[in-house]
Structure 1
Amino acid sequence: MRSRQNRPTLAEIKATWPPAVDVTTAALAFGMSRSKAYDLIARGEFPAKVARYGRRLVVITESVVRALSAGD
């Protein structure tokens, strides 16, 4: 796992991330804390698609790429 100071680039996300990642990893891509990410998810405001697998939440990588690309 990366340190908080090393936000992944869009190119790194596209090249190396699996189809879905944990919330903490996705939060890092958006420059937010894990707790902020879970707060946004609870309010339905997280900037990427979140899926629930049993009790586990994952974030769909393609939706992270789309959200981060929207600013380009």
Structure 2
Amino acid sequence: MTTATPIRTTTLAEIAASWAPTASVADAAAASGYSKAHLYRAISRGECPFRTIQVGGKIRIITASLVRVLSGEAA
């Protein structure tokens, strides 16, 4: 019999304390419960709940904005 490995969730305190100033869309999606595809669509429509910046050709999520939104505040 095989036992499943529990899924580890990241807390807001861990995100605020240990994440870089910007996060990948994949990391932000995982932390917020969105799928990566849904978050990319929201970004492209200008409806992303988090502040974003473009660095080179990559979209990054502002970590402080992610923490604020997930804690119930405005981005």
Q: Distance in 1 between matches of 2:44 and 2:32?
A: 17
Can you give the 5+ residue segments of structure 2 that lack an aligned partner in the other structure?
Answer: 1-6
TM-score, normalised to structure 2, is: 0.80
Say what the alpha-carbon RMSD is for the aligned residues: 1.3
1:52 aligned to 2:31?
no
Can you give the 5+ residue segments of structure 1 that lack an aligned partner in the other structure?
Answer: none
2:30 aligned residue (23, 28, 31): 28
The one-letter amino acid paired with 2:18 is T
1:11 aligned to 2:13?
yes
Kept in 2, the 8 Å contact 1:49–1:60? The answer is yes
Larger Rg: 2
TM-superposed deviation, 1:7: 3.4
- Secondary structure of residue in 1 paired with 2:69: helix
How many residues matched? 67
2:43 aligned residue (41, 44, 49): 41
Kept in 2, the 8 Å contact 1:47–1:67? The answer is yes
TM-score, normalised to structure 1, is: 0.83
Q: Distance in 2 between matches of 1:63 and 1:18?
A: 12
- Secondary structure of residue in 1 paired with 2:20: coil
